[in-house]
């Protein structure tokens, strides 16, 4: 059953395990820096609504870390597709496109969970109160599925390192800074708000934050995430079908 | 009894923008045949293999395996073809065993049998000691063998080899040749091999298709092809160049040699002579 999916995960997980220690240490640095700079350095006396800024920040960091990890598979796929040609093995194998995409997406989600887990550890260490709930799990599953799918889709279009860099500079980084990750978007001018409401990260940040801190939950944001998931996953399948026979 | 037609390619074309890489190839061959696709760099060999194996869609034309359309039955057809691509596309961060095991998963080889199959092939290729080593530590020849046995793991009916010995030392090239011959004989696998090495095509293939600028320019057994120019060549070394005279048998070549006043030598004709005669240039020039 689902041999193609098993094959993709077998490879990805084996390779990940080989460099897990390095990866985990590397992914632990940036959330810590954000916590020190924004949490301690400037946020210790700031409130956002009813909650302390650090409690506001932690869900944002969870969103950011898991996004970086999930979307990050785009780089890995790119290297294996265009540089080592290992991806060709999938394309010539008797497996369907769905299995390959799903395999990569699940791997991206696993990395996303790891990113989230690291920030959770910091929350424990820094004694920041957050609630863990089923709704949070649904939110993070959708969030990581969405950005892994986007990662796979873009890996098929983006050929070289330079375009990948510009993808990060022009899409991912602005999104991380603008979609409510570090500050509430309510304070932004209307035009900005309108743009921000077109971006998928806005909805995952909102859901992850509400479910973790217990602030008002907009259930329709789940719907938005599901729509984005469907669109990005379809795009990923389509982009792979375009190269495959 | 006539063997089955394994591969039937009709008028395939591939264009990259305005560049026509493969320009209407038509050929077919039987189950069990060892066919070579010989041509200089840039002739369109890799592009052809890519279209036959599902890495690229042809711009036009059709590919049939055992009379069934490849594009319409691609998943089924892919399960009985094996591919050794021009570049060693192994996972460098996995071991030899892991690379093979992953291939086993992709081709739905039952988990019970995959281990013994892998062991047998590692033994067949003389790679037992490399089983648990990371691929990134392997030499070029070792990687090549591993890629080849990976393509054999699911026991394909048709094997595609794209320049199997490109970039290898002469000694290792010979080893790989012996290995490929062993595969064709012991597994009775139908093989289509591309190459730009004359000697490789002559040594290994029972039939050679010569391709230039995406077009088929000659097709036949090495001996038949050579007899179209003459089986023996008398090379006469003049001041400016080497003059070549072709003969159908050795005796007439030697007779002419005896009457020759300039330095000269008799050699057997090669596929290079065939290529030169048709195109006016050398294959590896
Ligand atoms: N992706 C590509 N884009 C544009 N041109 C290409 C591409 N791949 C190959 N070509 C061109 O198509 C021709 C055939 O290439 P190829 O099939 O790799 O030849 P061979 O394998 O015989 O050396 C060459 O002229 C090559 O430059
Ligand atoms: Mg080539």
Q: What is the DSSP string of B177-218?
A: HHHHHHHHHHS--EEEEEES-HHHHHHH-SEEEEEETTEEEE
How many CB atoms are closer than 10 A to CB B277?
Answer: 15
Are B94 and A90 inside 8 Å of each other by CB?
no
Give the pLDDT confidence score for residue A157 in this predicted structure. 83
Q: How confident is the model at residue A52 (pLDDT cuts 50, 70, 90)?
A: confident
CA distance A50 to B278: 85
Answer yes or no: is pLDDT of A243 > 80: no
Q: How confident is the model at residue A120 (pLDDT cuts 50, 70, 90)?
A: very high
Ligand nearest to the CA of B164: 2
Q: Is the dihedral of CA A52, A55, A56, A57 positive or negative?
A: positive
B261 or B16, greater pLDDT: B16
CA distance B33 to B1: 15
Give the pLDDT confidence score for residue A169 in this predicted structure. 85
Give the pLDDT confidence score for residue B231 in this predicted structure. 86
Give the pLDDT confidence score for residue B25 in this predicted structure. 97
Answer yes or no: is pLDDT of B284 > 80: no
Distance from CA of A108 to the nearest CA of B (A): 18
A47 or A121, greater pLDDT: A121
Which residue minimizes the CA distance to atom 7 of ligand 1?
Answer: B16
Distances (CA, A) of B68 to A177, A210, B72, B79, B189: 54, 56, 8, 13, 19
- Between the two ends of chain B, the Cα-to-Cα distance in Å is 43
Residue given tokens 């006043």 in the structure block: B261
Q: How confident is the model at residue A245 (pLDDT cuts 50, 70, 90)?
A: low
CA distance A119 to A132: 13
Q: What ipTM was predicted for this assembly? A: 0.90
- Which of A156-160, A210-214, B75-79 is predicted least confidently? A156-160
Spatial CB neighbours of B42, under 8 Å, sequence gap ≥ 6: none
CA distance A92 to A85: 12
Is some CB atom of chain B closer than 8 A to the CB atom of A14? yes
Is some CB atom of chain A closer than 8 A to the CB atom of B15? no
State which of B12, B14, B16 you would mutate to test the pocket of ligand 1, scoring each by most atoms of that ligand within 8 A of its C-beta: B16
CA distance A217 to A230: 22
> Which of chain A's residues have a Cβ under 8 Å away from the Cβ of B94?
11, 14-15
User: What part of B 37-66 touches A (C-beta under 8 Å)?
Assistant: 53-57
B149 or A185, greater pLDDT: B149
Residue B79 corresponds to which tokens in the numbers above?
Answer: 């399960």
CA distance B222 to B275: 12
Q: How confident is the model at residue B99 (pLDDT cuts 50, 70, 90)?
A: very high
How many CB atoms are closer than 10 A to CB B215?
Answer: 15
CA distance B71 to B63: 7
CA distance B248 to B275: 17
H or E element that contains B105: helix B96-106
Query: Pocket residues for ligand 1 (CB within 6 Å)?
Result: B 16, 19, 21, 39, 41-47
Are A244 and B103 inside 8 Å of each other by CB?
no
Give the pLDDT confidence score for residue A81 in this predicted structure. 84
Give the pLDDT confidence score for residue B285 in this predicted structure. 58
Centre of ligand 1 to C-alpha B14, Å, is 10
Answer yes or no: is pLDDT of A16 > 70: yes
Centre of ligand 1 to C-alpha B83, Å, is 18
Residue given tokens 């923008």 in the structure block: B17
Give the pLDDT confidence score for residue A82 in this predicted structure. 83
Spatial CB neighbours of B132, under 8 Å, sequence gap ≥ 6: B95, B96, B97
Answer yes or no: is pLDDT of B241 > 80: yes
Are B106 and A4 inside 8 Å of each other by CB?
yes
Give the pLDDT confidence score for residue A21 in this predicted structure. 93
pLDDT in tens, A212-234: 998 899 999 999 999 999 999 99
Length of chain A: 245
* Phi and psi angles of residue B116, each rounded to the nearest 5 degrees, phi first: -65, -40
Residue A72 corresponds to which tokens in the numbers above?
Answer: 């990050």
Is some CB atom of chain B closer than 8 A to the CB atom of A1? no
CA distance A76 to A164: 11
By three-state DSSP, how is residue B54 classified?
coil
Q: How confident is the model at residue A139 (pLDDT cuts 50, 70, 90)?
A: very high
pLDDT in tens, B155-213: 999 999 999 999 888 999 999 999 999 988 887 899 999 999 999 999 999 999 999 99
Answer yes or no: is pLDDT of B2 > 90: no
- Which of A17-21, B59-63, B249-253 is predicted least confidently? B249-253
Is some CB atom of chain A closer than 8 A to the CB atom of B89? yes
Which residue minimizes the CA distance to atom 3 of ligand 1?
Answer: B16
Q: How confident is the model at residue B135 (pLDDT cuts 50, 70, 90)?
A: very high
Residue B164 corresponds to which tokens in the numbers above?
Answer: 């199997």
Q: How confident is the model at residue A170 (pLDDT cuts 50, 70, 90)?
A: confident
> Which of chain A's residues have a Cβ under 8 Å away from the Cβ of B92?
84
Q: Where are the beta strands (DSSP E) in A74-163?
A: none
Q: How confident is the model at residue A235 (pLDDT cuts 50, 70, 90)?
A: very high
């Amino acid at each position: 059953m689902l041999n193609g999916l098993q094959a993709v995960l077998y490879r990805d997980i084996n390779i990940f395990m080989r460099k897990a220690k390095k990866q985990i240490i590397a992914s632990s640095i940036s959330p810590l820096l954000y916590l020190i700079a924004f949490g301690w350095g400037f946020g210790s006396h700031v409130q956002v609504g009813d909650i302390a800024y650090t409690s506001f920040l932690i869900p944002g960091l969870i969103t950011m870390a898991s996004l970086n990890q999930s979307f990050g598979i785009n780089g890995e796929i790119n290297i294996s597709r265009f540089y080592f040609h290992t991806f060709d093995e999938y394309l010539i194998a008797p497996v369907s496109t769905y299995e390959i995409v799903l395999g990569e997406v699940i791997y991206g989600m696993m990395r996303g969970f790891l990113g989230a887990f690291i920030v959770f550890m910091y929350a424990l260490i820094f004694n920041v109160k957050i609630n863990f709930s089923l709704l949070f799990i649904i939110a993070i599953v959708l969030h990581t599925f969405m950005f892994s799918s986007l990662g796979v889709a873009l890996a098929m279009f983006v050929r070289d390192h330079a375009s990948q860099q510009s993808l990060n500079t022009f899409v991912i980084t602005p999104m991380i800074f603008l979609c409510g990750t570090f500050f509430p978007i309510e304070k932004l001018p209307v035009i900005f708000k309108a743009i921000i409401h077109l971006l998928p990260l806005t909805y995952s940040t909102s859901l992850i934050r509400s479910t973790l801190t217990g602030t008002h939950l907009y259930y329709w944001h789940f719907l938005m995430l599901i729509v984005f998931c469907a669109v990005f996953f379809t795009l990923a399948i389509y982009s792979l079908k375009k190269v495959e026979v | 009894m006539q063997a089955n037609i394994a591969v039937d390619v009709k008028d395939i074309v591939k264009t990259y923008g305005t560049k026509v890489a493969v320009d209407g190839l038509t050929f077919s061959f039987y189950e069990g045949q060892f066919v070579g696709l010989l041509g200089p760099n840039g002739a369109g060999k890799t592009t052809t293999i890519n279209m036959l194996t599902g890495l690229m869609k042809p711009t036009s034309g059709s590919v049939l395996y055992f009379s069934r359309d490849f594009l319409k039955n691609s998943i089924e057809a892919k399960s009985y073809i094996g591919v050794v691509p021009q570049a060693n596309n192994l996972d460098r961060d996995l071991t030899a065993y892991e690379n093979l095991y992953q291939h086993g998963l992709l081709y739905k080889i039952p988990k019970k049998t995959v281990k013994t199959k892998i062991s047998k092939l590692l033994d067949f290729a003389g790679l037992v000691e490399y089983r648990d080593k990371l691929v990134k530590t392997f030499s070029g020849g070792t990687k090549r063998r591993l890629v080849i046995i990976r393509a054999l793991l699911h026991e394909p009916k048709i094997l595609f080899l794209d320049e199997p010995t490109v970039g290898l030392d002469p000694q290792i090239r010979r080893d790989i040749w012996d290995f490929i011959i062993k595969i064709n004989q012991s597994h009775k696998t139908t093989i289509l091999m591309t190459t730009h090495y004359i000697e490789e095509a002559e040594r290994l293939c029972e039939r050679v298709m010569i391709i230039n600028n995406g077009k088929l320019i000659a097709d036949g057994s090495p001996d038949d092809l050579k007899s179209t120019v003459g089986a023996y060549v008398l090379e006469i070394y003049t001041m400016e160049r080497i003059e070549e005279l072709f003969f159908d048998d050795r005796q007439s070549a030697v007779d002419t040699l005896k009457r020759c006043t300039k330095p000269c030598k008799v050699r057997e004709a090669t596929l290079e002579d065939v290529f030169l005669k048709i195109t006016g240039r050398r294959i590896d020039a």
